[in-house]
């Protein structure tokens, strides 16, 4: 059985717009695909342990990991370890550099859970950050140039050699995501490069 594992971003949850949209499409158009959306812990070490536990139970050839923002980082870490393919959506490349400015109280946008973002969180992000991709051809990067949180050019440089879709305009929430959903699901079902919009 093919599996799509969706990883949400920081202070998000399985109730996020993209997680729900992708799940609805899978259930309607590819019901034979296993779709998983874990509620990731706010501690990076615990979150990536959750992800690895899921990946370890599945064959790499049958697994596609899709991640948004910080989830895109986790998807990349998972793909490097498991040898599977991954789709990174507006990923927070080298996240330890970005999260230092958010230290302090945080609240999950969907669940209301409150916690403090500490230097320990940042250190855990640095510990898992892959310095480079070993097999760029296993990745599909989707970014929007209007991302107001991250500089999309950092992701374009980091995922050099990967399949890339760079959308003009947009935002960090990836407002064009719906256009990519069919091709993402198709890539989970097929070998070879992603169809449609991706360019190597």
Which tens digits make up the pLDDT trace of 11-41?
Answer: 999 999 999 999 999 999 999 999 999 999 9
Q: Which residues pair with 104 in a beta bridge?
A: 117
Please report the beta strands in the chain, taking only residues with DSSP state E, as ranges in sequence order. Answer: 3-7, 34-36, 63-68, 85-89, 104-107, 114-117, 139-144, 163-167
> Which structural domains are found in the chain, ordered by start?
3-189 (3.40.50.1820)
- Cα–Cα distance for residue pair 126/47, rounded to 1 Å: 14
Q: Which residues, other chains included, contact 146 with Cβ-Cβ below 8 Å and sequence gap of 6+?
A: 168, 169, 170, 171
How confident is the model over 70-89, as pLDDT tens digits?
A: 999 999 999 999 999 999 99
Predicted TM-score of the model (pTM): 0.95
């Amino acid at each position: 059985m093919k599996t799509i594992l969706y990883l949400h971003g920081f202070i998000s949850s399985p109730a996020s717009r993209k997680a729900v949209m992708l799940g609805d499409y899978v259930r309607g158009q590819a019901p034979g695909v296993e779709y998983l959306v874990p509620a990731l812990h706010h501690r990076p070490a615990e979150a990536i342990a959750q992800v690895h536990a899921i990946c370890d139970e599945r064959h790499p050839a049958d697994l596609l990991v899709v991640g948004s923002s910080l989830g895109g980082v986790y998807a990349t870490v998972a793909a490097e370890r498991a040898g599977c393919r991954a789709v990174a959506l507006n990923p927070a490349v080298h996240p330890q550099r970005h999260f230092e400015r958010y230290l302090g109280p945080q609240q999950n946008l969907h669940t209301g859970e409150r916690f403090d973002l500490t230097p320990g969180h940042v250190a855990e992000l640095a510990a898992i950050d892959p310095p480079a991709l070993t097999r760029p051809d296993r990745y599909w990067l989707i970014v929007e140039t209007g991302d107001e949180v991250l500089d999309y050019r950092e992701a374009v440089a980091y995922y050099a050699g990967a399949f890339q879709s760079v959308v003009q305009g947009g935002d960090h929430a990836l407002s064009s995501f719906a256009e990519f959903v069919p091709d993402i699901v198709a890539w989970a079902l097929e070998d070879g490069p992603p169809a449609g919009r991706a360019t190597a």
